[in-house]
Copies of this chain bind each other. A is one copy, B any other.
Amino acid sequence: MTTTRLEAFSDGVLAIAITLLVIEIRPPELHPGETLAQALWAQWPSYVAYLVSFLTIGVIWLNHHRVFTQVVRVDGPLLLLNLNLLLWTGLIPFPTAVVAEHLGDGGEAARTAAALYCGVLLVMGLAFGALFAWVTHTDRLLGRMPPPGVVGAARRRFMLGLIVYAAALALSWVSAPLALGLCGLMALYYAFDQASVPAAMDPVGRS
């Protein structure tokens, strides 16, 4: 099993998951006396959920590549850990649809929807963290071991994500929109962080 194969399959799943998000945004049903413009505005949780989930999966993709740029050998546990990550990432359109439908309801439904959403992201984060820990705990799968400082910084970024998703999960019992907003901020932070981190982890000649 080459990393090329693994990455191509993972890319496929991530590209499909990110694009499937849109089919959870349905054309609104018009209630009597309602204009289409009003009905479209009333669907704002769908748009927020699409945006946050798109950013989140986009960042998972960026991060997945950053990690696999280092990997030159694939072993059995890595295959399973990667399938596990794809399992939870591929599930994201479901909590996204639940949030889209129930965030506007307020009350128990909104809080439960937000908790489901944050919970799935938290488990996804744990799955990604497990994969990263397996890849980096020795250099047997890597072309060369990146400097300890680089690995340590990446670990701190993973840990930060877990803490923020856990905080968002707790926050969802207080305010569903705030919890979702926190997940969105996390994705934005990762996106800008990914885009600015120097390519120091990339082996020479493969960046």
Contacts and interface: CB of A to CB of B under 8 A. Distances in A.
B83 A196 contact: no
Contacts of A17: 19, 22
Q: Report copies per complex.
A: 4
Interface stretch (A33-41, A124-132, A147-155, A163-171): A33-41
B19 A195 contact: no
Contacts of A97: 26-27
Contacts of A69: 1
B23 A108 contact: no
B22 A20 contact: yes
Contacts of A86: 18, 58
A36 B103 CA distance: 11
A108 B35 contact: yes
A18 B76 contact: no
B195 A76 contact: yes
Contact of A91 (B22, B36, B66, B199): B22
Interface in A174-206: 191-192, 194-197, 199, 206
A1 B40 contact: no
Contact of A27 (B5, B7, B90, B102): B102
B65 A191 contact: no
B13 A15 contact: yes
A70 interface: no
A77 interface: yes
A23 B26 CA distance: 12
A19 B10 CA distance: 11
B61 A9 contact: yes
Contacts of A26: 97
A162 interface: no
Q: Which 10 A-B pairs have the closest CB atoms?
A: A76-B195, A12-B15, A16-B19, A36-B112, A36-B109, A27-B98, A25-B94, A27-B101, A58-B83, A37-B112
